[in-house]
Amino acid sequence: MLLALLPLLFLAVTVSADAKSLIVPLTRKATGSLQGLAKQERLRFGGKAYSPARRAVPAKYSLWAFYATIGIGSPVSAVNYDLVIDTGSANTWVGAGKTYKQTSTSEATGSKVHVSWADNTLYMTGKEYIDMVNITSDLVIKYQAIGVASDTAGFHGYDGVLGLGPVSLTDGTTSGKHEIPTVTDTLFKEGTISANTVSLALAPATNGGSITFGAVDGSLYVGNLTWAPITSTYPANGYWGLDASIAYGGRTLLNSVGAIDTGSSFIHFPTDVFNKYRSATGAVLDSATSLLRVTSAQYDALQPLDFVIAGQTFSLTANGQIWPRSLNTAIGGTTSKIYLVVTDSGKTSGKGLDIIFGLSFLERFFTAYDTAAGRIGLAQTTFTNATTN
């Protein structure tokens, strides 16, 4: 049952000056109750390999996600599907909500598909098809491999996923044991975009955002864009992973690696680092939300939370470290309380994937993903120092 549906903001599609790139609008909504969202995200990163086996899943799994409305089939946009934007996976698939409709461009490959997240608490199982994918009327993929789900868990309120992660994440997700080109890969291969690049500009709270395929739009960020190579550390190197250090109030908490994940709402730290941050802020763990809670005085005293990436510091202000207070009740909290967005991953540091940069970070910084060069770009935006929360 849908217990929370938060306000949405629709943005107009804007074509870049470069005819080989295009900006696509994103919308945001919540499905299911967001209470316990932090606990649910602890197991977010897990195996994606094909397997017909799965375990029992919770009846309700909430998502607080950005999505794009994508058309599949012929004629153009024969059927539109609301697909979650996910940089933590690379398969594009439909069938979680709206049933896939075969048209004249649909072609079954004979392969089975299984993609799982969160130790199989979220998954899709189905068949692979080749079909026409219409991101917009000007951004059409003629031959894209997609998954068509016959069984899913955890995606109530959405029709599937638009995977923007590295293509290696698709390896082993089909019974054919082959990699499946991502939508960005295929757009580039078909010559629709001039660079195998995608970038994200997101906004805090209930606001929307946009994806740019094929270019990095300088109008969507302020200052300089910093490029960081994908880390060589396993397993973060299989994602959009990067080397990073964390400091709070000028004191270094960790030198390690992390990954960017639009499928996570929070910023996840390993338990030992989380405890250092909790101690430094004076926060207490709130039993109702599983988030850290601070008093008004402690909020006023919050110091910058710094992430040093490729020699540049990306700082979260005090306001950037808290959950939007207008959405407190959606997560089971109290309107007057203040909750922090740094959560405990439940793992110790040194495992090769220590930091998850979820939406709470990405709403404050522009990010770009360059497949050809194997690098990630970051920059400030007009929301970096916003007091929206």
Catalytic residue, candidates 217, 261, 306, 344: 261
Distance CA 41, CA 356 (A): 10
Selection from 265, 225, 224, 272 nearest residue 246 by Cα: 272
Three-state helix/strand/coil letters over 35-55: CCHHHHHCCCCCCCCCCCCCC
> Is 176:111 a contact under the CB 8 Å cutoff?
yes
Q: Find residue 294's DSSP bridge partners.
A: 338
- Taken in order 301, 302, 308, 314, is the CA torsion positive or negative? negative
Kindly report the number of other CB atoms within 10 A of residue 373's CB atom: 13
In 85-178, alpha helices (H): none
CB neighbour burial string for 47-78, b if at least 16 within 10 angstroms, e if fewer: ebebeeeeeebeebbbbbbbbbbbbbbbeebb
Catalytic residue, candidates 82, 86, 159, 243: 86
Distance CA 54, CA 118 (A): 12
Determine phi and psi for 372, rounding to 5 degrees: -60, -40
Q: Is 86 a known active-site residue?
A: yes
Distance CA 342, CA 320 (A): 10
Selection from 113, 121, 119 nearest residue 171 by Cα: 113
Q: Find residue 378's DSSP bridge partners.
A: 226, 367
Distance CA 122, CA 155 (A): 7
**Cα 163 to chain centroid, rounded:** 9
Determine phi and psi for 218, rounding to 5 degrees: -65, -15
Question: Which residues participate in catalysis according to the annotation?
Answer: 86, 261
